[in-house]
Amino acid sequence: MEGIIKKVENVLRLRNYSPKTRKAYILYIREYIIFAKKAGIKNKEEAIEQFLLNLHEKRSAQTANLALSSIKFLYGDVLKDPINIDLKFAKRAKKLPIVLSRKEIESIIDVIDNPKHRLMISLGYACGMRVSEVVNVKVQDLAIDELTVHIKEAKGKKDRISVLPEKLTDDLYNFIAGRQPKDYVFASNRGGKLTTTSLQKVFRESLKKADINKPATFHSLRHSFATHLLENGTDVRYVQALLGHANIRTTQIYTQVTNPILKNIKSPL
């Protein structure tokens, strides 16, 4: 099995898959091989089907989808096996994103005493950035005079430009003073890049301190950015570009959260 796993890892690296995707693919391929061997199922199609059914019963539809993609990659891209995997992807639960109100975001930022942490949370919301994008931003990526930030090699290895708020320009200038262009804006205390885990922890602590009970995560700042732009009347196509979505249908989920017609309906009670 280890020989196959090594081949999978090599092909994933050659195809320039992200470390997160490589880790997930290897995990599910390993689980699949162990399952098939333990179950003693020789027919590949049957082994795959039973593995995915077993996985779907225990975990989410999204996990089953990722496992299926991993197995297709194993047979199609690594083993060059002409096996026909004629399985449909499981339906994902259609959940609305957790969105924080403007007042809630203001409360979260206000309770943060550390200037670096406060600026990171502010940028996450103000620019619609993922937690990984905030920790990866470098001094050379900021065009403060133009009120833009160049987000490089984001999800899917795609670059995009997002907006910077004029409200944060003085803080940003002060924060990067004396830094080199290739320096991380938010370096750790030991030097080098801050971890996403550290920033997520800062957000959770701030959420608790602000006494907000929503099951929000750092990514909720990105959801809130998109929702509030739509509420301000920004065209959904511009929001799509700012978020870096390949498909506008991904962006349109926010129109369900910010539907002004629904919000203006009064309850009959």
- Any idea which residues carry the catalytic annotation? 130, 155, 219, 222, 245, 254
**Under a CB-based contact definition with an 8 Å cutoff, are residues 93 and 115 in contact?**
no
Any idea what the Cα angle at residue 264 is, between residues 262 and 267, rounded to 5°?
A: 85
Q: Is 105 helix (H, G, I), strand (E, B) or coil?
A: helix
Residue linked to tokens 């924080």: 100
Please, are residues 190 and 181 in contact by the beta-carbon 8 Å criterion?
Answer: no
CA 192 to chain centroid, in Å, comes to 22
Q: How many CA atoms lie within 13 A of 180 on its CB side?
A: 3
Distance CA 237, CA 247 (A): 10
For 127-165, give one letter per residue: b (16+ CB within 10 A) or e: bbbbbbbbbbbbeebbeeeeeebebeebbeeeebebbbe
What is the Cα–Cα distance from 138 to 181, expressed in whole angstroms? 7
- Amino acid (1-letter code) at residue 201: K
- Cβ partners under 8 Å of residue 97, min gap 6: 220, 223, 227, 253, 254, 257
In angstroms, rounded to a whole number, what is the distance separating the alpha carbons of residues 131 and 121? 9
